[in-house]
A and B are shown apart, each in its own frame.
Chain A
Amino acid sequence: MKKFYLASAAALAISATGALADGHVEHVFPVGEGAFNWDSYTAYADAFDLSGQELTITGPWTGADAELVNSVIDYFESATGATVQYSGSDNFEQDIVIATQAGSAPNIAVFPQPGLMTDLAARGALTPLSAETADWIRANYAAGDSWVSLGTAAGADGEEGLYGFFYKVDLKSLVWYSPEAFEEAGYDVPETMEELLALNDQIVADGETPWCIGLGSGGATGWPATDWVEDLMLRTQSPDVYDAWVSNEMPFNSPEVVNAIETFGTFARNGDYVNGGVEAVASTDFRESPLGLFTFPAECYMHRQASFIPTFFPEDADSDFFYFPAYESEDLGSPVLGAGTLFGITQDSDAAQAFMAFLQTEISHEIWMAQSGFLTPHTGVNSELFASDTLRQMNDILLGATTFRFDASDLMPSEIGQGIFWSGMVDYVGGEDAASVAGRIQDRWAEIQ
């Protein structure tokens, strides 16, 4: 009996050392089929062999998103023979800081924003990526330089280095709607902000509700409102004012910002405009908020949210989007607000380095592209593979914006951008005065400097 065990163990060991252990992993798309760039997969599989090695990744993706990222990780596992543990958390921002301080950091962390990555890099919790990686990004990502500079931070020694690799980009300046409902009611997609405001009143006049807005997100409640404010900043001020706001050269409570917050208030603090009334804005979870678009009769007609949101739509939902328009009167072009997740190495290992290299293969982008809620600045991927025309159009918006700006709250210090800015917006929606909210945020920011 013992002999039999030994023999089977040996057999297992032999089969595991094969470069391709395809049979052991369930793939979403069988290797070698479809228009995917399988050459990049096989080239990568030939170059790396990590049999028996383990890799831990933690990130902000839970639920449906966690399944999607795992479907990409499957290909890394089958190509290299390594085993990967991905764990997602809704409170990732706190968890990762605690983990790095406690010395129990994962190999790789997926940062939802550069602000947090910068904080950790300054504490020496991250391993810088190679100069080749930066060159690769410049060569292969659209607007590569800006992605490099957004992923660059100062380390514990004050040396600037590339710490974060952008993978999965979100486009934020989008308004989602149900084409059926629009057709039924005879509404046209607004091309300018003026038209959008007219549409608001038109919908209210028809006895309906124009918007679904939900700010709930557990410990991060309030963040969707910051996107609104940023989008409205870009639509009411020039990009350099936006940049000054991000860096706090222009105080948070300056009239430009207060005006943007109040403009958001004209949508969110108007009981006729929002589904469930003003109170529901703060308490509705952002994942459940858009469901009102697809009920019959529709509870609301529009939902301003980033490109990832269809992941949370009902299975059979027929949805479309339009660009959150700019004011014709302001003449600021078509500004686009975006964000993205960065992969950083929090505990270096061969497998971690190999995974970073894996993110540079076309296939790692295409697998997620072909499913849902994934955009990429990678110019080498086959855009035919996008799961829908919707995603393809979004990618075009992303690559063709006159002004592209990164999510401001993600660039601010985490105490502001992932703290008081969020809760301040909840207070504002709850009825506090915009100037006093902005004043409190500025006070806190002044304390930090």
Chain B
Amino acid sequence: MPPILQGIITIIIGVGGCVGYFYAANLFLDKVLFPARGPNAGRNINRANIVRPWVFLFPAVFALGLYLVYPVVGSFIRSMYDRSGDEFVGAGNYIRLFNNPDFRQAFLNNILWALVVPAVTTFMGLLIAQLTDRLKWGNIAKSIIFMPMAISFVGASLIWKFVYAQDPDLGIINAIRASFGGEALDPLQIPFWNNFLLMVILIWIQTGFSMVILSAALRGVPEETIEAAIIDGANPFQVFFKIKVPQIIGTIVVVWTTITILVLKVFDIVYTMTGGNYGTEILPSFMMDFMFRDDGQATAVAFVIMLVVLPVMIWNIVQARKEMR
């Protein structure tokens, strides 16, 4: 079977299966289990309405339990055992990790990623959304900025590998340096700063996403508030920062956290660009070094990553709840 056909069939089965499940489950509930007929019609309708949410939630809860809760608990238990999983070592793996200079480096780099990438991406997205809002060719600009979203991380990394190439005939950075008569250098080997060069790739991919979401949010700001501010003599900056931003802060938080979570999962960029060498290691790529060799260490790293994500998640849920009220 050609891959394209496989893909189409997968999509049909996947989407059709989802729709089919809800439709059939609903039908079964209303027609077979608690039919709205006969002597207990009223009671049946009430019962069906009590059960219905659970029926609809079941696939999500089941999948989450199987693919998230069980592995989390399993990983935590595994991280208390030694490399082959035979001997209980308690916190030994964690102690070893924090004594490992490579781990500390990866941890700090990861913190750097989690601070810089979401901030820059959200800021750029907001800026572009605002600037393109009133432009005639704004939609074209938006489309172009949104395009990298469609490129896989590995694909994007390969593109940027050419940008950073050491050969002045290929690499833009070195071409510019060469035109000023500078020596060719490998940007990816500059300690500390090379981390930022890798972050640029993710920012480039994700800016389009944050721009689209924030652009929609900006459109949702009521015109009356803006008009009132202008009549009161607010300048454009005041309108933007004091009127618009406070009204879309909820959306900004959502974009920020979404990208933060993405950052903590990213490893393909580092892996394809530097292989984690030259001090660019981050936690997921550090975990790869241990995976299937010393699973005790690997699961401990996985757990550390989860602990880093947790506050972001909790904050996100709290914010979402505030929105609901």
Contacts and interface: CB of A to CB of B under 8 A. Distances in A.
Nearest to B288: A94
A219 B185 contact: no
Give the one of B188, B189, B271, B277 with max A CB within 10 A: B277
Contacts of B184: 276-277
Nearest to B294: A415
A218 B275 contact: yes
Interface string A197-227: 0000000000000000000001111100000
Interface in A218-240: 218-222
Given A218-B272, A222-B277, A276 B166 contact: yes
A430 B278 contact: yes
A447 B272 CA distance: 28
Given A423-B276, A423-B277, A426-B278, A101 B294 contact: no
A88 interface: no
Contacts of A276: 166, 184
B292 A98 contact: yes
A280 B275 CA distance: 15
Q: How large is the interface on B (under 10, 10 to 19, 20 to 34, 35 or more residues)?
A: 20 to 34
Give the one of A97, A219, A220, A420 with max B CB within 10 A: A219
Q: How large is the interface on A (under 10, 10 to 19, 20 to 34, 35 or more residues)?
A: 20 to 34
A414 B292 CA distance: 10
A73 B308 CA distance: 49
Nearest to A101: B292
A426 B288 contact: no
A218 B101 CA distance: 23
B293 interface: yes
A449 B278 CA distance: 28
A422 to B, nearest CB: 9
Given A218-B272, A414-B293, A447-B96, A426 B185 contact: no
Given A276-B166, A430-B189, A219 B292 contact: no
Contacts of B290: 415
Contacts of B277: 221-222, 282, 423, 426-427, 430
B227 interface: no
Given A218-B275, A276-B166, A423-B277, A97 B292 contact: yes
B318 interface: no
B292 A282 contact: no
B275 A221 contact: yes
Given A219-B271, A415-B293, A448-B83, A280 B186 contact: yes
Interface in B173-191: 184-186, 188-189
B271 A283 contact: no
B41 interface: no
A94 B291 contact: yes
B292 A279 contact: no
A419 interface: yes
Given A279-B166, A430-B189, 11 more contacts: A94-B292, A221-B277, A282-B186, A282-B278, A283-B186, A283-B189, A415-B293, A419-B293, A420-B289, A426-B275, A447-B96
Interface of B: 83, 96, 101, 166, 184-186, 188-189, 271-272, 275-278, 288-294
14 contacts: A94-B291, A94-B292, A98-B292, A220-B275, A221-B275, A279-B186, A282-B277, A415-B293, A415-B294, A419-B293, A420-B289, A423-B276, A426-B275, A426-B277
